[in-house]
Amino acid sequence: MKASGFAKWMGRNTVATPPDIESAALRSDRFRLERENDWIRLEAILRRMERGRVRGLSDDDLLALPTLYRTAASSLSVARETSLDAATLKYLESLVQRAWFQVYGPRQGLFSWLRGFLMGGWSRAVREIWLDICIAFAVMVAGSIVGWILVERDREWYYALVPAQFTDSRVPGATREQLLESLATTEDAGGLSVFAASLFSNNAGVAILAFALGFAFGIPSLLLLVHNMAVLGAMIWLFAGQGLGLEFAAWLSVHGTTELFAILLAGAAGMHIGRSMAFPGDRSILAAAAESGRRGALVMTGVVLMMVVAAILEAFPRQLVGGTFDRLLIGGTFLLAWITYFFIYRPTNPEADQ
Amino acid sequence: MNAAVSSLDARRREIVTPEGITLPVRVGARMSRVGALLLDFTFLYVGLLIVFFILALTLGSLFAAMIDGLDSEIGGLGELIVVIIILFLFIARYGYFLSMELGPRGATWGKRIVGLRVAARDGGRLTADAVIARNLLRDIELFLPLAFISAAGEGQMGNAGLAGAVWFAIFMAFPFFNKDALRAGDLIAGTWVVEAPRTKLADTLSTQGAASGTSAVTGTRYEFSDEELSIYGEHELQTLEQLLRHAKEDALPDVHAAICRKIGWAPGAGDERAFLEAFYAQLRAKLEGDMRFGKRKKDKFS
């Protein structure tokens, strides 16, 4: 006790000399004193690594880490069988745990992960959920057809489906001119960038919701897709009724090809989780959920990026570019670019070699 | 005491490392996780406030121009700033959690303070995908339920709002209905939150004081017979270790007297620490000796 008091005065960086091994009355304490220096060295290395200063470590230390970790781990299993010193056991347990977290810890930082993600990780994840994408696509098509049919049968459905923010002039009974007006460009770009940024927050929120709801066996994700697409179907009906179908499609396609693609992917990712939880195969439900959840998270990070692109497109080119053909050209180009990126661009997987 | 011990054990799990070592981990307590979350959001908002404060100080005139710009139409630069701020808020919220949990400590500042970290449930490597997955679900688990519950409380959305509130409350309460305290994000990502203890190496007890049996104060030599030592087991030994390491001096006489009464010695006074150190060392030597032959004595009753 006196020795530890003294050591405290010396400050925590000075390592107190361990007592002479021969002075220990107990065999288990001798065992500990013989290995103590290794443990203390391991702890010093770990402390630096935990502070994120891996570069400050010498090559010797870095090379010694796996060996020291195994030494400490075997010390722990020996000590469990031979020592009743609770404090030492507790120390060893926490030391081995910390070393284990460093040796088997996350290997990538955020940025190196991001690089791997853009250079193939994202498109690979998208290809892996192709079946869910097909299902989600079918559901979206069905949703818009349902929206169309509902509104055609009974106009009151239009007000039930379409949110109030869109029902300014775009209501059943509006004239062709009014509708054409709503598709026109705005005069200047003032305020549009703020509009884009808030659109992004909003749309990314919807996409994350579609993904997160997949957790409940995917059904809420599907409902969300059906609802959103029914709105679209209702609006297509409105514009097509006045012979403006192509103009509306062009107006929508500028950002819509990107945004609808992103919503498609989000819904598919959510459903992927729900589907693997409902039909886990020979894995446990938790393992299945974890595996599909990680894949879904990759897709979703990409969806958020797509939402940024969509919001920028929605605010600037759509409001500034007026021609039907130009609009279709922009939308089509983006659609083609996404499909190329996801399904044709296939770099080799660096992890597959390991 | 018993209740405390059993509640400790209820959170104890074992993971097997690739070397075949079973490592005990303890699942983080739910209340400390709530505390960590509150701390994290406090840090985040305080940090954002400071950033905006600095921005307002340095770019104050620009902000004034921007507010003018809303009326007239010269606010191009100011508008850019608003865009940057909206994106910055989004990045700050996700970036804080992602970059911290992907760091070497595997924990945000809040979790570090309460002594927790994120780990992969299967004992493998914690991957970036897993960290992202568990953080993406935070919105639906926390903010959406809160929004729905407050809306339902005000009765804005009628029965649908009420149903929504109940539905999302299930997500919010998720960690309270499974034994590993997993939230929905943990379930999806295959992670859990465990305690990350950082203990210092304590002194060896058998190299100091009267461990060899001889008191430095009085020069008395304490020797206990096998019979006297066999009344106690491992539990008592470790209680005594705790006492020798951490207790104040005035707690020692009671324990000293209790042990003396038990083994039939007449308790003296003034040399309690030496007595207890000698007793500890000899009891441990005996129990560890038995241990090597495969005999373990859990406590005094066994």
Query: Of B124, B153, B173, which residue constitutes the final position of a domain?
Result: B124
Query: In terms of residue numbers, what domain contains B293?
Result: 203-302
Q: Are residues B207 and B120 in the same domain?
A: no
- Report the number of distinct structural domains present in chain B: 2
If one counts every other C-beta atom within 10 angstroms of the C-beta of residue A38, the result is 15
Say if B107 falls within a structural domain.
yes
On whether any CB of chain B is under 8 Å from the CB of A55, the answer is no
Q: What is the pLDDT of residue B38?
A: 93
Across-strand partners of B27?
Answer: B194
Nearest C-alpha neighbor of B171 from the set B190, B145, B192, B135: B145
Other beta carbons within 10 Å of A18: 17
Determine the Cα–Cα distance for residues A108 and A32; give it in Å rounded to an integer. Answer: 35
**Taking 90 as the threshold, does the pLDDT of residue A138 lie above it?**
yes
Tell me phi and psi for residue A13, to 5 degrees. Answer: -85, -25
Q: Would B42 be classed as within a structural domain? A: yes
Residue B182 located in a structural domain: no
Report the gap between the CA of B265 and the closest CA in chain A (Å).
24
The answer to the question of residue B273 being in a domain is yes
pLDDT tens digits, one per residue of B121-151: 887 788 888 888 888 778 777 776 777 677 6
Let me know: does B180 contact B27? Beta carbons within 8 Å.
yes
Q: What mean pLDDT is reported for chain A?
A: 78
Q: Which residue in B18, B188, B237 is closest to A215 by CB distance?
A: B188
| Residue B111 and residue B210 in one domain | no
Q: Which residues of B26-58 are buried (b: 16+ CB within 10 A; e: fewer)?
A: bbbbeebbebbbebbeebbeeebeeeeeebeee
Assess whether B19 and B118 both reside in one domain: yes
DSSP of B107-141: S-HHHHHHTEEEEETTSSPPPHHHHHHHHHTHIII
Find where tokens 């079918």 sit: A138
- For residue B176, tell me if it sits in a domain: no
Residue A273 touches partner B, C-beta closer than 8 Å: yes
Cβ contacts of residue B31 below 8 Å, gap of 6+?
A: none
CB-based contacts of A10, cutoff 8 Å, min separation 6: A16
Kindly state whether residue B248 falls inside one of the protein's structural domains. Answer: yes
- pLDDT over 90, % of chain A: 6
Q: Is residue B172 part of a domain?
A: no
pTM listed for this prediction = 0.73
Residue A120 zone, left/alpha/beta (φ > 0; ψ -120 to 50; rest): left
Among B124, B155, B184, the domain-final residue is B124
Residues of A in contact with B286 (CB under 8 A): none
Contacts B82 to A, Cβ<8 Å? 193-194, 197
Left if phi > 0, otherwise alpha if psi is -120 to 50, otherwise beta: which for B155?
left
Calculate what percentage of chain B has a pLDDT beyond 90.
9
CB-CB under 8 Å, A295 with B136: no
Rounded distance, CA B234 to CA B229, Å?
A: 11
Does some domain include residue B178? no
- Facing residue for A190 by CB, picked from B73, B121, B241: B73
pLDDT tens digit string along B11-48? 888 888 777 777 888 899 899 999 999 999 999 999 98
Of B75, B109, B124, the residue at which a domain comes to its end is B124
What are A108's two structure tokens? 């990538």
Strand partners, B191: B120
Instruction: Please answer whether residues A203 and A307 qualify as being in contact, where contact means their C-beta atoms are separated by less than 8 angstroms.
Output: yes
The answer to whether residues B21 and B117 belong to one domain is yes
